[in-house]
Structure 1
């Protein structure tokens, strides 16, 4: 009898630990449980990614800034939710699909320096540090947009491994956003 009772306790303890680990992992992946311990911090580069857009710089800037500073379209509401607006900065949630109904939610400040720069800084997400920028310069074909950033993770090699996983998804989401910016900016420029 004591052996069965002990096995039940061990099974219960194992299930509890496994459930807690799964919940923590899910929270980390979705950004709901951020891990920022400041120990073993390692940094990696995001980008750079250069995109030439056949549209004037002010049009490209407006396309990037619209969901934050203007009216958010229905399609963009699935990706961005502005929590607080200032004159040149917003605090916004960004939603990234992870598969099924699961999505990552990051909270970032977005600062606007018209017409040449938009800066992003992570407040809450799956890693403790992300700093990014879109720099816009005039170019013979219209505008050159350069994306670059830096991502920081904690816990030495474990954080490096996690950062590699997150960076792949992160840069893929940025590439999708930049493609949408190019399409919309060129469309607006053609209508001018």
Structure 2
């Protein structure tokens, strides 16, 4: 009988680990709609020394244009329409030992806005907006805002506290790369 209890504990522990890994990597999405909690993402503002159209093109390139090799490693366009795409985003997690994959719709309103909405990922819902406004005569201000939602009351709120800061850190890194590339393109022209 001790073996049966030990194997049951092993199965439960294995299931817990598999569930956690599934959540972290985005392979397991839980959307039960009960005990929904939301938390803001951002706001984050970045001033870019480049025209708004250039900044928009840099953000949109992996989705609407010809993606570079490094962009293709991070983003795969699954379906493309005239102003919206369905894209899979791959992000290293757990110190690079795992890869989280999210699937999101990305809607483009040229040249002032890009909207992201989560379809599949580590939380039930995320909506994000990148607003591009002219700042001065030649610069662009990018303002990022969003909302992340989790289910299951306090447990979901805890999970949102784990996922949210990592999500925002990924966005901050992306915005830094956008700033660098847009300014490089502007300096080149």
Q: TM-score range by the shorter chain?
A: over 0.9
Mark the runs of 5 or more structure 2 residues left unpaired by the alignment: none
Aligned residue for 1:90?
85
Task: Give TM-score scaled by structure 1 length.
Answer: 0.96
Q: Deviations over 1:152-178 (max 9, x none)?
A: 000011101000100011000000000
Match of 2:106 among 105, 110, 116: 110
Aligned residue for 2:182?
185
Aligned residue for 1:3?
none
Match of 2:168 among 167, 171, 178: 171
Rounded Cα–Cα distance in structure 2 between residues aligned with 1:156 and 1:14:
26
Match of 1:134 among 130, 135, 138: 130
Rounded Cα–Cα distance in structure 2 between residues aligned with 1:175 and 1:182:
10
Aligned-residue offset at 1:100? 3.7
Q: 4+ runs of 1 displaced by more than 2 Å?
A: none
Q: How many residues align?
A: 187
Rounded Cα–Cα distance in structure 1 between residues aligned with 2:92 and 2:99:
4
Rounded Cα–Cα distance in structure 1 between residues aligned with 2:3 and 2:61:
57
Mark the runs of 5 or more structure 1 residues left unpaired by the alignment: 1-5
Aligned-residue offset at 1:101? 3.3
Q: Deviations over 1:98-123 (max 9, x none)?
A: 12431110000000000000000000
Rounded Cα–Cα distance in structure 2 between residues aligned with 1:91 and 1:21:
30
Aligned residue for 2:8?
13
The range that moved more, 78-87 or 94-103, is 94-103
SS at match of 1:108: strand
SS at match of 1:83: strand
Q: Look at both structures and tell me which one has the larger radius of gyration over its CA atoms.
A: 1
SS at match of 1:138: strand
Rounded Cα–Cα distance in structure 1 between residues aligned with 2:139 and 2:96:
39
Rounded Cα–Cα distance in structure 1 between residues aligned with 2:165 and 2:38:
15
Matches within 5 A, 1:37-186: 37-98=32-93, 99-140=95-136, 142-186=139-183
SS at match of 1:78: helix
